[in-house]
Amino acid sequence: MLAHELRNPLAAMQSAVELAARAEEDQTRRRAQKTLERQVHHLGRIVGDLVDIARITRRTLELRRERMHLAPIVERAIETCRGAIDAAGQNLEVVLPKAPIELDADAVRLTQLFGNLLANASKYSGAGARIGLSARRQGSEVLVTISD
């Protein structure tokens, strides 16, 4: 499973490099470059996940909590999987309250969590599927729902 997860972005990167080398049009080169950028980012996330797993196993993972708003975290999470959602022709519907939701959380871990859930929703939904992300305050807590 791990080898498969690492090989997929590498294969896509290799194909993009070969396409860029053969491309005579700037548009084809730009498309190959965008593919490379997405796959390098994806591979970086996988490596980061592996490091996190090692830290969790050793019980050395630290949370860096700070006050923040939820909306920018959701936006960054969406950026991490936008390519896959667009490629599958899926529709992402995001519903956040107009009033900012303030949190005391680790922005990196929360972004990672939402990004992973959105990526899974995309991966296991069919082409053209609807994926939803909504958030609302529920008393002193925040409820974030990701649906597919």
* 81/124 same-domain check: yes
- CA–CA separation, 27 vs 40, rounded Å? 20
79 with 32, same domain: the answer is no
Instruction: Fill in the amino acid letter for 8.
Output: N
Structure confidence by residue, pLDDT tens digits, 51-85: 888 888 999 988 899 999 999 999 999 988 888 89
Where residue 93 sits, what CATH number does that domain have?
3.30.565.10
Q: Pick from 16, 31, 58: which residue ends a domain? A: 58
What is the per-residue pLDDT across 16-53, written as a single tens digit (0 to 9) for each?
777 777 777 788 777 878 877 877 877 887 888 888 88
Task: Outline where 1-148 has alpha helix (H).
Answer: 2-22, 26-58, 70-87, 107-123
Number of domains in the chain: 2
- Domain interval for residue 78: 66-147
CATH number, domain with residue 54: 1.10.287
Q: What is the pLDDT of residue 83?
A: 86
